[in-house]
Structure 1
């Protein structure tokens, strides 16, 4: 997949940041060191520093563009290019920290549930993460449905349904390996503004693999599939998420886990 766009991702900063603040609020220890897996453009680092100003911090992300943006925004911080799977295997630039935390990243990691015990083992005190649980919401059903039609299907191929666990799934995985686990879910109703806000929302995150494939096809074949796809998906999303005089409501489910070492 092509690299991420920090500017597009940050378009709805407040809405994307709120779950992280609620995750941080449920961490019961005061860590001396923090490792953020999938730190993105560094926009959530102030949340961690605000809660634990004395802690050392390292942010990891697999996107060069995100790491570049984080370093530019926070030149005094430490941000490293690294993959979550490498960290789980002990090959990352930082082996462990008191708090290992991740926001909206693990759903992109193939087989992330199988990696959870290894990821948790790198936390000396607490392992905390949140993942979006909206992959069967109308936004993603329509994304997969439109992408499965021709002429898009030939350019895109099968669109993966990125499955995350329910709170009980994650509790069983981590409690079964000895952690004390707090797991829950929340459905936010975000009020989005502007033209085609739901299309812009998913275009910065969940739709990225599809859009990158269409862009690559257009560049290689001189076609205009991306523009056609945006128009078709945008129309479907407007029907599924009708605009109101006060904005466009978007229901968004999130799953949260805070695992703490016993004793």
Structure 2
């Protein structure tokens, strides 16, 4: 991990200490907004029994979200913030959670790969070369995914750019970067174009 990772860990540790196990600990404006992003991940085609790696899993909210909807996944969560992983391990003792970064070598699960890899809200607070960081993580997610990947990011098409304090990615640049031989890529913006979700499938969805 680099200094920017350490800064982000400290930031989310403070949020967790201040707000407890709520959406505010993860810097989401509302639980509804967080769940709306989760619902977009379901469009990947997740099915019961699929294995999923949740990068930047926070408090394990995506795990809870899927189970509330009757979707049972072989779930693994990864997060850099120790306090959040400690919470997850205590709350979901029968599921797998690991402390660390997706760019760590070696990864805690060895050579294992997953059907799907997802990441929600993990790029916004990056300051040092945020685009390069995002690309490195996307490459790693693709390496680990047997079926596909989904991630979201704040968009350069969001309104009021004079008020932005966090990293915003260009959706067209993101699509171009992710488009490689053998992959199907779709980028879908939110209604207000404040952010977008990128989907990548190894095999085109039906």
TM-score range, shorter chain: 0.7 to 0.9
1:114 matched to which residue of 2? 135
> Deviation at 1:174?
2.0
Say which structure, 1 or 2, has more relative contact order (CA 8 Å, 6+ apart): 1
State yes or no: 1:93 paired with 2:112: no
State yes or no: 1:132 paired with 2:154: yes
TM-score normalised by structure 1 residue count: 0.58
Taking the TM superposition and a 5 Å limit, the aligned residue runs for 1:117-196 are 117-133=139-155, 137-138=159-160, 141-142=162-163, 162-166=167-171, 168-188=172-192
Partner residue in 1 for 2:3: none
CA distance in structure 2 between the partners assigned to 1:15 and 1:29 by the alignment: 21
Q: Distance in 2 between matches of 1:39 and 1:165?
A: 24
Provide closer, same or farther for how the CA distance between residues 134 and 69 of structure 1 changes in structure 2, counting only shifts above 3 A: farther
- Conserved? CA contact 2:156–2:170, under 8 Å: no
Shift of 1:56: 1.0
Return the alpha-carbon distance in structure 2 between the equivalents of residues 134 and 13 of structure 1: 23
| Structure of greater Rg | 1
Q: Give the 5 Å matches for 1:234-253.
A: 253=194
Question: Partners of 2:170 and 2:79 in 1: how far apart?
Answer: 22
Q: Which residue of 2 aligns with 1:74?
A: 92
For the Cα contact (< 8 Å) 1:20–1:130, is it kept in 2?
A: no
1:104 correspondence with 2:121: yes
Q: State the TM-score, normalized to the length of structure 2.
A: 0.73
Aligned-residue CA RMSD (Å): 2.7
Question: Which consecutive residues of structure 2, in runs of 5 or more, have no partner in the other structure?
Answer: 1-6, 25-29
Q: How many residue pairs get matched?
A: 177
